[in-house]
Structure 1
Amino acid sequence: MSITPCQALADLMTIREKFKETKHLKYVQAWGYSPDALRVCAVPSSNILLMPRFGMDVTYVRPPEFTLHPDIIQQAKVNAETHGGSFTETDNLEEAIEDADIIYMRQHCTLDYGKHGPEKEQQIIDKYSDWTLTSDLLRLAKKSAVVMHCLPVDRDHEIASDVLDGPQSIVYDEAENRLHVQKAVLSLVM
């Protein structure tokens, strides 16, 4: 089980810059297709733990094989209940994105990667090559919705170029905030 607290804090900072109030924002943490990336679950795990603590209504959407560690899922539910948000899981990408305020795409491995190895993992990943955030999918979200990714992104796989380069993308703000968050953390511990 891995997490990335600095990235999660940068993501939260970026959301607060854009929306000010976080209560009941619909935050969608979505698995996105990447043909040659085998990333750990740190970003989605961290964000589904953190965002409910700020009252967001979090949806984790992924193909059936790509669930996160059960302890992470359970704690996300507790955080949502404790802080007035909600947490749901689904494997329906279109349904999850409907009326979303924030869509965060990120590919990650299955929990069984270590058991079945890279060839089997690639076969599983390739079954979901249509899990790309396109402009057609983005139209299902609110007009004011933003698109996030921690970078580097697998362009035209996780997120289509027109979305990534479009006005709803805040990936570069997010990247800049990663620097500021890490400087703040360092100043606290030095």
Structure 2
Amino acid sequence: MKSPISYVQSGSYFLTSFTNDPSEAVENADAVYTDTWASMGQEQEKEKRAEIFTPFQVNKSLMAKAKEGVFFMHCLPAHRGEEVTDDVIDSSQSIVYDQAENRLHVQKVIMLSLLGKK
């Protein structure tokens, strides 16, 4: 599995595309990224959003349509069984915990920057 850092070091570029078809979206993806269907403050819309977004659930079947070596990412917290299934978020393709750890360090640097410290 090629790491994201090796992509950057090799001079590869990243392409973002948009589609309404989850199978098409993962076809040549290097990473599959999802988020919660209802954020804080949208709790009253949870059922309606679940009905709309269920076809977009990231599950083993969808990930199998992606190319070999695809990463799964999520900004957390994840609602298991909703936007992502356990077998995906707990798989070797998932880098959500590394992602969260890296976000912590980036946030610390941003705070130091804002405070004028180097």
Q: Answer whether contact 2:57 2:84 (CA < 8 A) is retained.
A: yes
Give the aligned partner of residue 95 of structure 1: 24
In structure 2, what is the equivalent of residue 58 of structure 1? 16
Q: State TM-score, norm by structure 2.
A: 0.77
Q: Is the 8 A contact 2:37 2:49 kept in 1?
A: no
Tell me the equivalent position of 1:153: 78
Evaluate the alpha carbon distance shift between residue 124 and residue 152 of structure 1 in structure 2; reply closer, same or farther with a 3 A threshold: closer
Comparing both structures, which one devotes a greater share of its residues to strand?
1
Question: CA distance change for structure 1 residues 16 and 128 in 2, over 3 Å: closer, same or farther?
Answer: closer
Cα distance 1:18–1:104, how it changes in 2: closer, same or farther (>3 A)? farther
- Residue of structure 2 equivalent to 1:20: 8
Q: How does 1:32-181 map to 2 (within 5 A)?
A: 56-59=14-17, 89-108=18-37, 118=44, 122-181=47-106
Cα offsets for 1:40-77 (capped at 9, x unmatched): xxxxxxxxxxxxxxxx2112xxxxxxxxxxxxxxxxxx
Deviation at 1:96, TM superposition (A): 0.8
CA gap 1:19/1:160 in 2 versus in 1, 3 angstroms: farther
- Higher alpha-carbon Rg: 2
Instruction: Note closer, same or farther for the CA distance 1:154–1:101 as it changes in structure 2 (3 Å cut).
Output: same
Distance (Å, rounded) in 2 between the aligned partners of 1:142 and 1:90:
17
Does the residue aligned with 2:56 lie in a helix, a strand or coil?
A: coil
Name the SS for the 1:123 alignment partner: helix
For the aligned residue pairs, the C-alpha RMSD in angstroms reads 2.7
Q: Provide structure 1 residue ranges, at least 5 long, that are not aligned to the other structure.
A: 1-14, 25-55, 60-88
TM-score (normalised: structure 1)? 0.50
Identity %: 33
How many residue pairs end up in the alignment?
A: 110
User: Structure 2: 5+ residue runs without aligned partners?
Assistant: none
Shift of 1:18: 6.3
